[in-house]
Amino acid sequence: MNLSELISRYGDDKVAVQKLDDSATSLNMSNGVTKITFLTEEPLDIGGTDRLGLIVWMDRDRVQAIIDEAKLSPSPETNLRGGE
């Protein structure tokens, strides 16, 4: 199962997004490995966080281009939601 199918089945409106850029408290690189420490508001107990977190990596410039394009030509789905 790919990520798009998982999110579609789960429910796009039930998925939260947290950008590492906005929540990272430290970024370190050593021997070709990056260590990122970040904060989240997800509750934690002995079994881990209440909800499962997944890290998804995408090309930064491509994501920005897609966001910019969507602002210029909103999809019909966006229009149905009142232009959110």
Alpha-carbon distance of 48 to 51, in angstroms, equals 8
Task: Give residue-wise pLDDT tens across range 39-76.
Answer: 999 999 999 999 999 999 999 999 999 999 999 986 66
Q: What is the 8-class DSSP label of residue 81?
A: T
Q: What are phi and psi of 35, to 5 degrees?
A: -110, 120
- Identify the pLDDT of residue 63: 94
- Identify the pLDDT of residue 77: 60
What is the mean predicted confidence (pLDDT) over 9-31? Answer: 95
Provide the residue ranges of all domains of the chain, joining segments of one domain with +: 3-80
